[in-house]
Amino acid sequence: MLTEWFCPAAGLEVDVDGYVAAWDAVLPIVEQDAAPVVTVLRDYHAENIMLLTDMARSYGLGLLDFQDALAGHPAYDLVSLLQDARRDVSPAVEQAMLTHYKAMVPVSAQFDAAYAVLGAQRNAKIIGIFTRLWKRDGKPRYLDFLPRMWGLLERDLAHPALAPVANWFAANIPAEARGVLDVSRQPS
């Protein structure tokens, strides 16, 4: 989605084959991790979590928008929640929640790398999706989220496991092209 929608919208010609190759180099970290396969909603964020009550007391949490659920790595929904596209979660809160999660659930030695890989993959995809929502669907409000998504992507790309992907970004998307799009370019 990033190379298909964001890059053309930003006026960038990029090495798409190199992009795929970079991801092919890092995705085995997730695929080969010993983590159990769990149900992942893939759209786990605050707007899709409901507090269930009966007016007198709380019963717990309910989830919305789970039609895209599938089996996957347990870090996926965690990164979806802690790197929310629509609201800021400070790095300190993200780290505290990760520490809490790892204290409660046994994780593999590769968990942090898998978390970073899944976060980078998800954030790059969302940048493309939000650009598509603007260009194709005429919804410019999604452009407001791009600086946050680029910031999250940059944090994930700093993980050593993502060096091939980080190198691709460094070679193909200049720093000044990250985070914003020219809204005067009307959707075609």
User: pLDDT at position 187, please?
Assistant: 46
Query: How high is the pLDDT of residue 38?
Result: 85
Which one has a higher pLDDT value, 34 or 133?
A: 133
- For 91, other C-beta atoms within 10 Å of its C-beta total 12
Six-digit token string for 87: 């609201």
pLDDT value, residue 46:
74
Question: What is the per-residue pLDDT for 52?
Answer: 79
> How far is 171 from 21, CA to CA, in rounded Å?
14
- Determine the 3-state secondary structure of 97 from DSSP: helix
Which pLDDT score, from 0 to 100, does residue 183 have? 65
b/e map 100-114, b = 16+ CB within 10 Å: ebeeeeebeebbebb
The answer to whether residue 185 scores a pLDDT higher than 60 is no
pLDDT tier at 8 (50, 70, 90 boundaries)? Answer: very high
Give φ, ψ of 15 to 5 degrees: -85, 90
Measured from the Cβ of residue 78, the count of other Cβ atoms closer than 10 Å reads: 21
Question: What does the CA dihedral 106, 154, 124, 91 come to, rounded to 10 degrees?
Answer: 50
Is residue 139 pLDDT above 60, yes or no? yes
Beta bridge partners of 53: 58
List of domains in the chain: 2-177 (3.90.1200.10)
Q: Is the pLDDT of residue 69 over 70?
A: yes
Check residue 44 and give its pLDDT: 67
Residue 164 has a pLDDT of 98
Q: If you average pLDDT over residues 81-106, what whole number do you get?
A: 94
